Each structure stands twice: as structure tokens, then as C-alpha cells.
Chains A and B, each alone.
Chain A
Amino acid sequence: MLAYVLRRLLHTIPIVLVGSFVTFVMVSASGDPLGDLKAKQPPVSQAILDAEAHRMRLDQPLLERYWRWLTGILSGDWGPSVKRIDIGAEIWPRLLVSARLVTLAVLLALVLALVIGVVSAVKRYSAVDYAFTAVGFLLLSMPAFWLAVLLKQQAIELNQATGTTLVYTVGEASIPPPPGLWPTVLDVLGHVVLPTIVLAMTSFAPWSRFVRSSMIEVQQSDYVRLARAKGIKRRTVLVRHALRTALVPLTTVVALDLAVLFSGAVITETVFQWRGMGSFLLSSVRDKDIYAVMAWLLLVSLIVVVFNLIADLLYAVLDRRIRLG
């Protein structure tokens, strides 16, 4: 197991290196970070432009810039920013905000996917199954930003109708936070409800289809039939033998979808005006802030890689037939 983890991590290094180099080249070629400065009226002096170009390392060859960026990160330096912010100091709190959203969305989507997947598998071809199928495909075909705006509008109307703010539609928490522990927790929860629902909806639909088909397959397996032939009650067989094995492949699906969820979070956070990774990415792209964009890409890709590794390890724990090697 340990050898496997080490080997997988060793495999990861060239992937991250090649991947980051390609993205670095592409992001660098995507625009001139000094574009805004150069377009200023009245024009700024050449000396200032040169100084800024030097600060942004634009006077160095591409390869050297990449190397400095890479080695800098190992020592905690994320590179210069057009907006003169400390990228490292800016990105960590935002990562936490986004991670909160993605984690809650994953949990919600998992619970919904399991319940609905299992129910539709057990009651296959019943009205319930058809209803869930219809809802699933509806959500599947609904763009996240549209659902987000729709929910936000509904929530605003609800708040207006009730006269109190039940669910917040803007920001990830009130500023300043309400005094006391409980009010703070409630405040955060109130803010997180809508974005979590939006994000969960986009993932839950395919996951529930996956659970359904996986459950149907397992239910027809010989070992489920043998378990029933032992005289065990159907419900017990369903949970202990069918669901337990049907869940194993779901770990991989969820881990692979994590990248999709982070992209989804960008949209959701934008609609609900969260100060998370999403708005960070958007503003950085707008400002052609190369190193800030690179920081975002690097972090998210590392998260995806790590969670895929975790999923593979979990797979081996859940199913002893899988031999990591």
C-alpha cells in the first residue's frame, strides 16, 4: 500500500510539471499584463512601464519565468501580482470558503443520489422511478447559472414576503459577523444554503443515475441471490450486500467529478457574490494577472490529483479484490 502511494505520488510529479508548464505558456500568451497600464491616458512614462515589466518578470525569457515561478512556490512565493496583492495571503482564505461550498455540495449530492438511486433501483419501472428519472434529466439539462439565478430570485421574494431574511442571497457570511457563536453559525448556514443546493443539483443527477444502474446490476448478481437464499430479510440483503458493493465504484466517479464541481463553484460563487476561489479566478483573468491565475489552476489541479489518489486507495479498502500494484 505504502509503495503504491509513493509510486502514485511519483507519477504525479511529471504530470503536474508538464501540465503546469503547458498552462503557464498558455496563460502567459493570453494577454499583456501591462495592457491596462499602457492604455492609460495620459500615458505613463516608459520608465514606469519598464519598472513594472521588470516587477512582473516580463523582461525574462519564458522558460526562466516558469522556473522562477515553480521554485518560488516551493519557498512560498506565488509570484508578483498586477494588482500588487500577496497572492498567497489572498488565496488561502478564499480556498477555505470554496472548499466549504464544495464539501457541503458533495455531501448533499451524495445523500440525495444514494436515496434516489436506491429507491429507483428497488422500485424499477414504477411511477416513482419514472418520476425520479424525469427530475434527474431535468436537472441534468439545466445550466447551473440559470438555476442559481432562479433560486436567488425566489429567495429574495420569499424574504420580502416574510419580512425577515431566512436565506441570504449575497456573500458567504455577513460583514461584520453577528456577535456570539450561534448567531455566527446560523449566519454562515443561512448564506450557504442556496449555493450548496445549486452546486449539488448539477452533480446529484448523474450520480443518482449511476447508483441506480449499479444497484440494479448488483441486485441481479448471484451473491445477492445467495444472500437471499440464506433466509436473510430482503431489506438487510439490500443494504448489506447490494448497496455496500454498489457504492464501491461511486468513489471513483465522485473523485473524477471534483474538477467539475470546482468549475461549477466558479459560476455559483459569482451569482451569489461569494469571495471565494471563483471571483478570484474571474478577476485575475480579467486583469490578466498571470501568477494569480496560475495559483488557482495549480491548487485546483493538485486537489483533483490528491482526491483521485484517495479514491483509488478507498477503492482498495472497500473491495479487497482490488490489488494496488
Chain B
Amino acid sequence: MTTATTAEVLGIRDLTVAFPDEQGQVSAVRGVSWSLRAGEVLGVVGESGCGKSATALAVMGLLPPGARVGGSVRFRDRELVGLRDDEMASVRGRSVAMVFQDPLSALNPVYSVGFQVAEAVRAHHPRLGREQAVERAIALLELVGIPNARDRAADYPHEFSGGMRQRVVIAIAMADDPDVIIADEPTTALDVTIQAQVLDALRTAREQTGAATMLITHDLGVVAGQADRVVVMYAGKVVESGTVEEVFYSPRMPYTLGLLGSLPRLDGREDARLTPIAGTPPPLDRPITGCAFAPRCPLARDVCRTEEPALVPVDGEHLAACHFSAELVGRRPQDVFPPRAAPAVDAVAANAVAVSAVAANAVAVGAVADGPVSGRPTPIITASSLVKHYRVRGTGLFRRDRGELHAVCDVSFDLSAGETLGLVGESGSGKSTIAKLLMSLEEPTGGGVLLDGRPLSPRGHARDLQIVFQDPMNSLDPRMTAADLVAEPLRINGAGRREARARALELLGSVGLSGARSERYPHEFSGGQRQRIGIARALALRPRVLVLDEPVSALDVSVQADVINLLEDLQDSLGLAYLFIAHDLSVVRHIADRVAVLYLGRVVETGDRDTVFDHPRHPYTRALVSAVPLPDPRKERARERIILTGDVPSPVNPPSGCRFRTRCPLHLGRLTDEQRSRCAGETPALLDGVACHWVER
């Protein structure tokens, strides 16, 4: 303990942060203590609203005006809480630097990137000449891996990709050789292959500056791979802290255990059901008595509701705040958190009778699917050679077409009852365009979609095909109640008011939102509940196919697990077919039966889930799978990672031949020139589930 305190660079003691609001105040941080030691990486994890970012901003003195900060933050021997803003300015950047979450909005759009880095260089060295500062800025940009940094320094932020912008932000953080770098969700907004690059850049920053790093993230996989120690936050408090091994392998606070259990895993072998944590974090605008986690905790007893557990050592430096932490020794998530077969499933089962016509049909088809003879069942949906190009207008006098954006190129798949097809790919891969084509929200440029062997008609398909959108807040009309939202598609399709309402209530019940809650408005629900409304609405017309466009990516993990379980239950009882679109491979691995991997509008690999994820063959799939961080420190650190270079090329005039060749480790590595020219000249066909000329078949 003594060695630890001597090496402490940043010490937080009993930190509190409160924001005043109309009713009183929101206590975002309620007494947080930890120390950051020289050279270490401290992972801070927790779900949204747990106080991670507020803590970071309190350290930086960048909380919005009006926020009240209490307790102490010490940088080495200097107390930071209570410093005047100009005194704080001398600390920022030089002692403590920060990397923000969203690289798209973190850079000022009206200044060049070089200027913004040079500005950081000069912030604490005003005597440094402009040219010297720019030189240093270029050197920093080179360090974080910006190609042609000298030329690109004059470019503006919008001319860089998200990953490149985050590198610029990291370069800014490095500029003054800080002792502490706070990275607040630095990779959350990025694609997984880009995330790997940015984490590399962060490591460079750490090595160059020797700074201790506070890595704030909700992604347990990132923490497992990067952090030395972990702090788990819940409702504005630290509930557990220790080394990554301690926290990941023997969590001693039920919340941590639940978090680990609710995480779908890319390395998950069995179809274990996720263990969601029931309920939502408590509101922080009123005092909390007892343990804040008690209402969601299966182990909670009377003492938990009256007495707040202190953060105490459970094993050396492993601390936990739980009255019954001793009971968690050796227990797995599913031992503690009962997988909820709760009201949702029962209601669905009852509902299934009401939907009997469709369900019976579906079950029948499902039965055929299970039959040993038939092989593949008859598909409901057949998409053949789908092509979607968008015109890109030029900027000349007559705005002639400058080219075409190739969003989707020759994509075929089919989908049967009771089956889930996962579409995975990074931004720009064409996932969402495929969803739009399926929903007839866009006209395909080529190819087509058949429903039961007949072409889709915009009118008829509404009953059979429904969509659930990514952001439930944006896809639900804020001025309609939950019941009205679910009843709307029924009313549009001719149901009477009373009939529609009855069915809406029934549907809301089947997604676990029964009773008085049906009369509430979207903003009165939590994120997970809103997505349940979205699902209930999609089910209103008794569709056979649900297109799920990133349905859980806006949700916290514990809530995400709940929605995933609901989707699985609904599929089992209604025989629904899912087209599950997601960028999160772990979620897809968990829910999908078959997978198609997209890159720049083309399917590069497809097959059943386990084959694709366990034995990826296409170089892109390999890189993608290897880039996903596993929430398991030992496995994660032992993995060999394939880090792709560069960004996804523009879908306007994409690379000829194989679209992946510009980033392909194979193409850039061991292929001969002759072989390479084949990559450039010939588009690899999707043979045997892989679209690569050089894969061993």
C-alpha cells in the first residue's frame, strides 16, 4: 500500500459532483475514491449515467457551469478541486490531458488539423514560434499514424475519417507530454477494425509520454485487453476495484458479475442464455438509502436496503462494496442471476394462441426445417443479386454525375421461418441499405427480393415484413403513448379503434410492458423499454420476418441482454425469421444461425455462425474477428491480432476487382505480383461461402 501511494500521480478522494436541476439536484458522482499510479492503465467501467464521464470532467475542471464539486482531486501534491479556471488551464494539457468520445465533434470544423495540434503545443509554450509548433504538430501526427502527415496537416477535420480524427485528438493529448491521459470512451464511436488501430495509437501515446492512463469505457473487452487495474462504477459510486484478473475472474460485487454475464461473447461456445440484470439504475435526483444496486440484485436482503455497504478490501487490494461479497466466491453469473423466463415469455406464449394462424404456419415450417431429410426449408425471403447504386452529383456548372456510390453490389441471401441471418460489416458496408431494400424503402438498381417466391409489393409486404430501428428514441413519435404507437400500424391497416387498442395492450404485455405503462410517452421509458415498444409495434401486424437494424447497439449491455433474450423468446414462440443487422460481432454470434460478412457492399464470406466465427477464411473476416476484444484478460492478451491498415475506401468508385485488396494483409503481404494483378483485375466470386481468389478450399 505504501509503494502504491508513493507512485500515485492522480488521487481522487470522496469526489462528489452534483448538477442542479428544476427539482433540486442530480448527484452524478456520490463519493468516489481511487488512485491512478504512475505508468499504469486504469480501466473505469460502468453503464451510461454511472458517473464515469462526470468524474473525468471534474478532474479536468471542465464540468458545465453550475455543477457543484466536492471532495478532493490531487495531481501529485497539488489540489485541483477549487482552483480558478486560469490556474486549471495550466494543469490541463500539461499535467492531465483528455481524449474525448466522439472524434467527429471534438475537432473545430473551421481550423486545419495542423493548427489545432499546434495550438495544443503552444498552449504551454507561448514562446515557441509558430513554425516550430507546426513542425512538432506534424511529428505528433506522424507518431499517431497519420499517413503523409506533412501534407495532411493543412486539411480540415471533415476531410479525415473518424479513426483518423481520433488519432488527431490523441496527438493533441500527447502534445504537451502529460503525466495523465484521460481517455473517455475513445473507441466507442468507431468501427472494430478502426478501434484496434486507435487503441494502438493510444498505446503509442502512452509509451511516448509515459503517462498514466484513465481509460473510461463501457466495453469490458477493451478493458480486459488494455487495463492493469479496473474500477467498476454504479450509480455514482465505485462498487468494485482491483486488478483486471481479480475483477474479471472473481468478481465480488453482484453488479460486476451481472455485467459479465449479460455480455454476449465472441468466444462463447455454448448457446448459454445471457443473464440480464433486471431493472434500470436508480434515478440520482433523490437520496439513495442502502445499496444502490439492491433493487436489481438477486442477493439483496433487508440489510442491503437500509445500510449502504462500504468499499472494503475483500482480498488484498481487491475492493468491493457488498454486504455479501463473500457469497460470490466461485459463483457464475447464471448461478446468481436467474435467466428471466419471466412475464414476457408467458405473455408471448399466451399471445401465440392469438396469433395462431401465423404461428402455426411458422411452426409447421420450422418442423420441416428440423426434419432430417429436407435440408434447407423453403425460404420466406429470397434476395437475389441485389444491387443499389446512388448517383453522386458533380459540382461543375451543369452538375453532371460524377460517379456512382456503390452501396450494395450483388448480394444474395435467403431467410426461412425461425431462422436468424446476421449481416455484419463496418460502416459503409451496405448493411442498412439492404434493410431499406428489403423494406421497399429504396428501389434496387438491380436484382430483387422475393417473398414466398413472389416479387415484393409495397402494399402486401407490410404485413409480412417489419423493421425495428436502431435508435428507439428517434423512431418513436414523442407525442404518442406506447399504446397508440403500437396501435398505429393496425389502425392504418383498417382495424377499428377498440380492436387496435386491445391488440396493442396485448402486444405491450408480450414485450413486458403491461398495465398503466401503456399510457406513457416514449420519454418516460428507459432505452431498453423503448426498444421493447419498437418491437411490439413491429409485431403488431403479425409479420413473419423482422428486419432488425442494429436493434441493441444504442443500449447498455445489461439492458441489451434483456432485449436479446426477448427477441430469442419471440422467435421461439412465433417462429419469426430475423434479418439481424449489427456491427457488433459478439451480439451476432450470440443470436444468429447464419452469418454474412459484408465489405463495401459485397458479401465476402457467409456460412453458419460457428464456422464463420471459429474458422474464418476470408482475410477480412479474419481481421474482423481478431479485432473484437474479448472480455477475458488472459485470452485477450494472448491473442494474435491482425490490425488492418488504413480506412475503408470510399464506396464512390471503389477499388477494382476485390474491393478489400487495398487493406488486405494477404494482398499486401505474401502474394506475388502476378497474383496481385488478379486481385485487381477480377472480382472474386462467392464460392463455397468465401469470396477470395487465394483462400484454400
Q: Which of A228, A233, A234, A325 contacts B394 (CB 8 A)?
A: A325
CB of B108 within 8 A of chain A? yes
Contact A323/B106 with A220-B64, A227-B119 known, Cβ cut-off 8 Å: no
Contact A230/B123 with A6-B397, A320-B156 known, Cβ cut-off 8 Å: yes
How many residues from A make CB contacts under 8 Å with B? 31
Is B395 a contact partner of A230 (Cβ separation < 8 A)?
Answer: no
Min CB distance A244 to B, Å, is 6
CB of B105 within 8 A of chain A? yes
Give the dominant DSSP class at A's interface. Answer: helix
Q: How far is the CA of A233 from the CA of B169 in the complex (A)?
A: 19
Nearest residue (CB) in A for B121 is: A230
Interface residues of A in 181-234 (CB under 8 A from B): 220-234
- Which residues on B sit within 8 Å (CB–CB) of A232? 89, 93, 119, 123
Interface residues of B in 59-116 (CB under 8 A from A): 60, 62, 64-65, 85-86, 89-94, 97-98, 100, 102, 105-110
Contact A227/B62 with A321-B158, A325-B394 known, Cβ cut-off 8 Å: no
Is A228 a contact partner of B109 (Cβ separation < 8 A)?
Answer: no
Is A229 a contact partner of B93 (Cβ separation < 8 A)?
Answer: yes
Contact A231/B100 with A7-B397, A223-B105, A226-B107 known, Cβ cut-off 8 Å: no
CB of B172 within 8 A of chain A? yes
Interface residues of A in 226-258 (CB under 8 A from B): 226-234, 241, 244-245, 248
Is B93 a contact partner of A323 (Cβ separation < 8 A)?
Answer: no
CB of A32 within 8 A of chain B? no
How many residues from B make CB contacts under 8 Å with A? 38
Nearest residue (CB) in A for B65 is: A124
Residue in B89, B93, B393 with the greatest tally of chain A CB atoms within 10 Å: B89
Is A231 a contact partner of B123 (Cβ separation < 8 A)?
Answer: yes
CB of A3 within 8 A of chain B? yes
- Which residues on A sit within 8 Å (CB–CB) of B124? 231
Is A229 a contact partner of B97 (Cβ separation < 8 A)?
Answer: yes
Q: Which of B98, B119, B156 contacts A321 (CB 8 A)?
A: B156
Min CB distance A125 to B, Å, is 9
Min CB distance A118 to B, Å, is 15
Q: How far is the CA of A33 from the CA of B517 in the complex (A)?
A: 72
Min CB distance B48 to A, Å, is 17
Q: Which of B62, B64, B89 contacts A233 (CB 8 A)?
A: B89
Nearest residue (CB) in B for A317 is: B110
Is A234 a contact partner of B89 (Cβ separation < 8 A)?
Answer: yes
Nearest residue (CB) in B for A231 is: B93
Q: How far is the CA of A244 from the CA of B86 in the complex (A)?
A: 21
Is A222 a contact partner of B102 (Cβ separation < 8 A)?
Answer: yes
CB of B127 within 8 A of chain A? no
Min CB distance A226 to B, Å, is 5
Is B395 a contact partner of A323 (Cβ separation < 8 A)?
Answer: yes
Contact A230/B119 with A3-B395, A245-B110, A320-B110 known, Cβ cut-off 8 Å: yes
Q: How far is the CA of A223 from the CA of B168 in the complex (A)?
A: 12
Nearest residue (CB) in A for B158 is: A321
- Which residues on B sit within 8 Å (CB–CB) of A222? 100, 102, 105-106
Is A226 a contact partner of B85 (Cβ separation < 8 A)?
Answer: no
Is A230 a contact partner of B396 (Cβ separation < 8 A)?
Answer: no
Is A230 a contact partner of B92 (Cβ separation < 8 A)?
Answer: yes
Min CB distance A239 to B, Å, is 13
Q: Mark A76-90, 1 if CB is under 8 A from B, else 0.
A: 000000000000000
CB of B191 within 8 A of chain A? no
Q: Mark B535-561, 1 if CB is under 8 A from A, else 0.
A: 000000000000000000000000000
Q: How far is the CA of A224 from the CA of B100 in the complex (A)?
A: 12
Is B64 a contact partner of A229 (Cβ separation < 8 A)?
Answer: no
Q: How far is the CA of A245 from the CA of B109 in the complex (A)?
A: 8
Nearest residue (CB) in A for B159 is: A320
Q: Which of A220, A248, A325 contacts B110 (CB 8 A)?
A: A248
Interface residues of B in 652-676 (CB under 8 A from A): none
CB of A318 within 8 A of chain B? yes
Residue in A6, A228, A325 with the greatest tally of chain B CB atoms within 10 Å: A228
Tally of A-B residue pairs with Cβ under 8 A? 91
Q: How far is the CA of A6 from the CA of B396 in the complex (A)?
A: 10
- Which residues on A sit within 8 Å (CB–CB) of B98? 226, 229
Min CB distance B124 to A, Å, is 6
Min CB distance A253 to B, Å, is 18
Nearest residue (CB) in B for A124 is: B65
Q: Mark B391-416, 1 if CB is under 8 A from A, else 0.
A: 00111110100000000000000000
Is B109 a contact partner of A320 (Cβ separation < 8 A)?
Answer: yes
Q: How far is the CA of A234 from the CA of B397 in the complex (A)?
A: 44
Q: How far is the CA of A321 from the CA of B159 in the complex (A)?
A: 8
Q: How far is the CA of A229 from the CA of B106 in the complex (A)?
A: 11
Q: Mark B140-167, 1 if CB is under 8 A from A, else 0.
A: 0000000000000000101000000000
Nearest residue (CB) in B for A223 is: B108
Q: How far is the CA of A228 from the CA of B90 in the complex (A)?
A: 10
Q: How far is the CA of A213 from the CA of B71 in the complex (A)?
A: 34
Q: How far is the CA of A228 from the CA of B172 in the complex (A)?
A: 12
Q: Mark A287-325, 1 if CB is under 8 A from B, else 0.
A: 000000000000000000000000000000011110111
Q: How far is the CA of A231 from the CA of B86 in the complex (A)?
A: 9
- Which residues on B sit within 8 Å (CB–CB) of A3? 395-397
- Which residues on A sit within 8 Å (CB–CB) of B172? 226, 230
CB of B266 within 8 A of chain A? no
CB of B176 within 8 A of chain A? yes
- Which residues on A sit within 8 Å (CB–CB) of B467? none
CB of B9 within 8 A of chain A? no
Nearest residue (CB) in A for B105 is: A222
CB of B175 within 8 A of chain A? yes
Nearest residue (CB) in B for A319 is: B110
Min CB distance B608 to A, Å, is 42
Min CB distance B134 to A, Å, is 15
- Which residues on A sit within 8 Å (CB–CB) of B54? none
Q: How far is the CA of A231 from the CA of B98 in the complex (A)?
A: 11
Is B397 a contact partner of A223 (Cβ separation < 8 A)?
Answer: no
Nearest residue (CB) in B for A7 is: B397
Min CB distance A250 to B, Å, is 14
Q: How far is the CA of A6 from the CA of B123 in the complex (A)?
A: 43
Q: How far is the CA of A4 from the CA of B396 in the complex (A)?
A: 7
Contact A231/B105 with A222-B100, A320-B110 known, Cβ cut-off 8 Å: no
- Which residues on B sit within 8 Å (CB–CB) of A234? 85-86, 89
Q: How far is the CA of A49 from the CA of B399 in the complex (A)?
A: 55
Is B89 a contact partner of A226 (Cβ separation < 8 A)?
Answer: no
Interface residues of A in 85-124 (CB under 8 A from B): 124
Contact A229/B62 with A221-B105, A319-B109 known, Cβ cut-off 8 Å: yes
CB of B322 within 8 A of chain A? no
Q: How far is the CA of A222 from the CA of B62 in the complex (A)?
A: 11
CB of B120 within 8 A of chain A? yes
Q: How far is the CA of A99 from the CA of B658 in the complex (A)?
A: 62
- Which residues on A sit within 8 Å (CB–CB) of B62? 225, 228-229
- Which residues on A sit within 8 Å (CB–CB) of B64? 220
Q: Which of B65, B89, B94, B107 contacts A228 (CB 8 A)?
A: B89
Interface residues of B in 19-65 (CB under 8 A from A): 60, 62, 64-65
Residue in B60, B65, B90, B123 with the greatest tally of chain A CB atoms within 10 Å: B123
Min CB distance B198 to A, Å, is 16
- Which residues on B sit within 8 Å (CB–CB) of A248? 110
- Which residues on B sit within 8 Å (CB–CB) of A231? 89-94, 120, 123-124, 176
Nearest residue (CB) in B for A221 is: B105
The list of the 10 closest CB pairs from A to B, nearest first, reads A231-B93, A325-B395, A230-B120, A231-B92, A222-B105, A223-B108, A231-B123, A3-B397, A320-B156, A229-B98
Q: B interface vs A, CB < 8 Å?
A: 60, 62, 64-65, 85-86, 89-94, 97-98, 100, 102, 105-110, 119-120, 123-124, 156, 158, 169, 172, 175-176, 393-397, 399
Q: A interface vs B, CB < 8 Å?
A: 3-4, 6-7, 124, 220-234, 241, 244-245, 248, 318-321, 323-325
Given contacts A3-B396, A228-B62, A244-B110, 9 further A-B contacts (CB under 8 A): A7-B399, A124-B65, A222-B100, A222-B102, A226-B98, A230-B97, A232-B119, A245-B108, A319-B109
5 chain-A/chain-B pairs, Cβ below 8 angstroms? A3-B395, A226-B172, A234-B86, A245-B110, A321-B109
